Structure 1
Amino acid sequence: MTHRSWSLSILLALLMYSCVPTSKIRDANASLPEHFQNRNVEDSTNSATLNWKDFFSDANLHALIDTALVNNQELNITMQQVTMARNEIQARKGEYLPFVNLQAGAELEKVGRYTSQGANDANTDIKEGVEFPEPLPNFRAGLFASWELDIWKKLRNSKKAAVMEYLSSVEGNHFMVTNLIAEIADSYYELLALDNKLEIIQQNLKLQGNALKIVRLQKQAARATELGVRRLEAEVFKNQSEMYAVQQDITETENKINFLIGRAPHTIARNAENFISRQMDTLYTGVPSQLLQNRPDIRRVEYELAAAKLDTKAAKANFYPSLALHAGVGLEAFKPRFLTSTPESLLYSVMGDVVAPLINRNAIKAEYANANARQLQTVFDYEKTILNAYMEVVNQLSNIENLKQSYALKEKQVAALTESINIINSLFRSARADYMEVLLTQRDALESQMELVETRKEQLHARVAMYKDLGGGWK
């Protein structure tokens, strides 16, 4: 190549490079406060580092979670997405390696005699006294290779993007595991709460049954009226109806757990005793910056952001020239027996292509613009996910503290109303209190006991939610 040709090539390359659009995407803001709101704690101890088997102490709950991690259909679907993402890495890796194909073929061709090829074939003797065969068969076999040289790292960046997408899918699977464990634990505690509510209703029905017997005796002794009998009977019927509603809730909650663990309806083994009196272990929140490492949803979007950056680089490389090499070697003849006659039947080829977009690059520009937009979109998603994680932990901290105060007050309320029941029953038996006082006292006591169970359940749910929000459960 002459000096002038080299100068022209360099000038064209510089011209094309200068025409490549550029776009600057701002970096994502991953900063978090040093402490959670209203908690100036320097301790980095974090409950999220605990394995779920250490966080949950109930053996029955352990068995349910173990089964779900194997049989849950949604989790298994997510795991297949991880497998597909891993296969995509192999596919992208193969794009920047040489392609070598084994090719064999046979054909039969008859061209018109009054054409350039036909006229030449008619005047060709392949052997003395033997004309060129017509129609002409052709047999071919050989190896053919093609290779696009990844000069601008377009293909390698695509492969690296596939790796980031795979890692993102892995974190997505971890996030699914965390949510599944939390959902099973919540449903299990819901079931324990319903068992306790059912027991409370049954205990109150016994008390109301005794009060109903007394008021009936008082009526016979003309010390009470039919109104008192009917009001107490109505309250008994009401609580009996509530009992069946709770039983239905128990059935539906059991089946929800069965669905999560991937099995047909079945009785859920559990121990509802000590539900109210169980101690709540201390939760350690660590510091906000640990969320970036512990939360699978944050890690997932972080990998998606890395993939988006690489996709943008790959899209930009489409503006540059691409170099492809093609080569082949094989045997070709019009009769199979001539295929082994070398070098006459030998064929080979070597070719190089340089292709560069010059005019009408709208499609490439549009794809590059979309890649930039997707990258910026992922930046916003990353920042949103971090902010949401921080907010969830702060909300749960407040929720846990408020539930603790509420539970302490409800305990006092239940104790006072339980004592009131004993007092009102004694007064009622000695005719010093009427049926309405008995009715209202028992109703208030029942409601307070149910609220206490509900508050305990909410405390357990808040504890599970905090464990999940801190990023626990998947390790």
Structure 2
Amino acid sequence: MAEKPPLPSLSQMPASFNGNTDTTSIGNIHWKDFFEDKHLLSLIDTALKNNPDLLAAVQRIEVARADLAIARGAMLPSVDARFRSRSGNIYNNLLNGTINGDRNTVTQTENYFLGLQSTWEIDLWGKLKNRRKAAFARFMASEKGQQLLTTTLVAEVAQLYYDLLGLDNELEAIEKNIALQENALEIIKIQKIGGRATELAVQQFHAQLLRTRSLGLEKRQQIIEVENQLNLVLGRYPQPITRGESILLQHLPKVISAGVPSDLLLRRPDIQQAELELLAADADVESARAAFLPSFTITPYAGVHTRSLPAIFNTPESLVLGFLGGITAPIFMNGQIRADFARSSAINKEAFYNYQKHILTAYQEVASNLQKVENYKNVYALREEEAEVLTSAVSTSNDLFMAGYASYLEVITAQGSVLEAELSKANTRKEIFLALIDLYRSLGGGWQQ
């Protein structure tokens, strides 16, 4: 018999995330309270009602519920209405000089039965009980699967929404720089007419403007693609997505706490689902082990029985009541039973290692996202300062160029640098929100109805 793998020890889990000893967690906050943007809340609500994957998950729960009903019904007696007709031959050896001498005579007989028959397998070894236990665990796992899909869906909608806000902000920065570059191009054209600039300078400014305009078109296409992707998650055809205020004005939580790692076992749906799958696989092993033992069956019956079909309803002579018992022990199918037990044991071990993997993955995701949110906040502060400095540098380079102390290449470089800094700042702000949403999901938040 294969050994069952040991259950994981909670003491092996670290006591905190990155040394954070706060016992509260943002994962306990309902998604309606975690997100403040009313447009985002409306989108999440639409997704929870219309998303095809979530609707399919509801049907998987119904399938698991039906499997549980089947497993429960297997433990109860079955009652069937039966009509049975049997014909057979009775061989009689007629001795003492019959008309046929020592030859056999054959008598044809008929038997008819109409009534009720029940069959009940006595579950002495727990085979049926463990099958019911496995079915119940898988039913509960299917519900956890729906919760897992819900928290993933909430996170996906929020990430796509903030991705849109980030792209809007990048497009705004591009359009602002297009206006600056158009103004610079007009100035350099005037200076060329006055003999203070060359055609090469005009071409350089023009090329920079064309490149920035093409970048704006690329951003618009990205916005369309993200909008369409979000509409697909919402379960509807492509249409414009209404957005709230700029991502630069969106609020971040003042305190971001993750709680203690052991809380993940009680809050993350994927860990709970893996644990229930492990319990189901363990019950399957016990059921497969019981298949090696004999099974006991009780078959009571009641009805009418006669050798003549017209006389079947002649009561009380035709009334019968009986009780049969049977013992079935595997002999020739022993190899198949051993193979089924080996298969169940392997699935059980696979479920155990899968459970361990989910625990390790959950801890890694929380630890990484906690650090990511903190680091990107610091990065954003630096890039915000960088953008301010480079914006001032553009103004300075323009003044110096007009006074003849800077070349047009320095102006072009300054304008290109400020655009790059603005885009980096917008992207970093977006990454903070994406990391925060992923942290919320990894802490098991978002599945609460």
Alpha-carbon deviation of 1:64? 0.6
CA contact (8 A) 1:28 1:380 kept: no
Tell me the residue number matched to 1:28: 8
Tell me the residue number matched to 2:104: none
Tell me the residue number matched to 1:458: 431
Q: 2:410 aligns with which of 437, 448, 451?
A: 437
2:235 counterpart letter in structure 1: G
Tell me the residue number matched to 1:214: 187
Q: 1:80 aligns with which of 59, 65, 78?
A: 59
CA contact (8 A) 2:2 2:345 kept: no
Tell me the residue number matched to 2:213: 240
Tell me the residue number matched to 1:410: 383
Alpha-carbon deviation of 1:108? 9.7
Q: 1:116 aligns with which of 90, 93, 108?
A: 90
Give the percent of matched residue pairs that are identical in Structure 1 and Structure 2.
37
The answer to which of 58-67 and 350-359 deviates more is 350-359
Give yes or no for the alignment of 1:258 onto 2:231. Answer: yes
CA contact (8 A) 1:108 1:135 kept: no
Partners in 1 of 2:13 and 2:245 — Cα distance?
Answer: 41
Tell me the residue number matched to 2:39: 60
Q: 2:150 aligns with which of 168, 177, 180?
A: 177
Q: Which runs of 5+ in 2 are unaligned?
A: 95-106
Q: 2:116 aligns with which of 133, 143, 151?
A: 143
1:29 counterpart letter in structure 2: S
Aligned length in residues: 434
Partner of 1:324, secondary structure, is strand
Query: Map of 1:319-358 to 2, 5 A cutoff?
Result: 319-333=292-306, 337-358=310-331
Partner of 2:114, secondary structure, is strand
Partners in 2 of 1:360 and 1:98 — Cα distance?
Answer: 25
Quickly say closer, same or farther: Cα 1:153–1:240, change in 2 above 3 A.
same
Tell me the residue number matched to 2:49: 70
Please give the root-mean-square deviation of Cα atoms over the aligned residues, in Å: 2.2
Partner of 1:116, secondary structure, is strand
Partner of 1:284, secondary structure, is coil
TM-score by length of 2: 0.91
CA contact (8 A) 2:192 2:199 kept: yes
Query: Map of 1:10-49 to 2, 5 A cutoff?
Result: 21=1, 23-30=3-10, 31-37=12-18, 39-41=19-21, 43-49=22-28
Quickly say closer, same or farther: Cα 1:70–1:24, change in 2 above 3 A.
closer
Partner of 2:426, secondary structure, is helix
Partners in 2 of 1:68 and 1:117 — Cα distance?
Answer: 77
Quickly say closer, same or farther: Cα 1:341–1:119, change in 2 above 3 A.
farther
CA contact (8 A) 1:209 1:236 kept: yes
Q: Which runs of 5+ in 1 are unaligned?
A: 1-20, 121-133
Tell me the residue number matched to 2:102: none
Partners in 2 of 1:331 and 1:439 — Cα distance?
Answer: 105
Partners in 2 of 1:356 and 1:77 — Cα distance?
Answer: 42
Alpha-carbon deviation of 1:272? 4.0
Alpha-carbon deviation of 1:431? 3.8
CA contact (8 A) 1:327 1:350 kept: yes
1:52 counterpart letter in structure 2: W
Alpha-carbon deviation of 1:144? 1.0
Partners in 1 of 2:2 and 2:207 — Cα distance?
Answer: 78
CA contact (8 A) 1:201 1:446 kept: yes
Task: List per-residue Cα deviations over 1:126-170 (Å, max 9, x = no partner).
Answer: xxxxxxxx9998764311110000111110111011111111111
CA contact (8 A) 1:82 1:169 kept: yes
Task: List per-residue Cα deviations over 1:373-392 (Å, max 9, x = no partner).
Answer: 22222221111111111111
Q: 1:168 aligns with which of 141, 150, 155?
A: 141
Partner of 2:79, secondary structure, is strand
Partners in 2 of 1:217 and 1:22 — Cα distance?
Answer: 88
TM-score by length of 1: 0.86
Give yes or no for the alignment of 1:292 onto 2:265. Answer: yes
Alpha-carbon deviation of 1:72? 0.4
Query: Map of 1:84-95 to 2, 5 A cutoff?
Result: 84-95=63-74
The answer to which of 330-339 and 437-446 deviates more is 330-339
1:73 counterpart letter in structure 2: P
Task: List per-residue Cα deviations over 1:308-327 (Å, max 9, x = no partner).
Answer: 11111111111111100112
Partner of 1:365, secondary structure, is helix
Task: List per-residue Cα deviations over 1:246-268 (Å, max 9, x = no partner).
Answer: 11111110011100010001110
1:25 counterpart letter in structure 2: P
Quickly say closer, same or farther: Cα 1:40–1:91, change in 2 above 3 A.
same
The answer to which of 428-437 and 408-417 deviates more is 428-437
Query: Map of 1:324-403 to 2, 5 A cutoff?
Result: 324-333=297-306, 337-358=310-331, 361-403=334-376
Alpha-carbon deviation of 1:344? 3.0
1:345 counterpart letter in structure 2: S
CA contact (8 A) 2:90 2:108 kept: no
Partners in 2 of 1:403 and 1:246 — Cα distance?
Answer: 23
CA contact (8 A) 1:29 1:383 kept: no
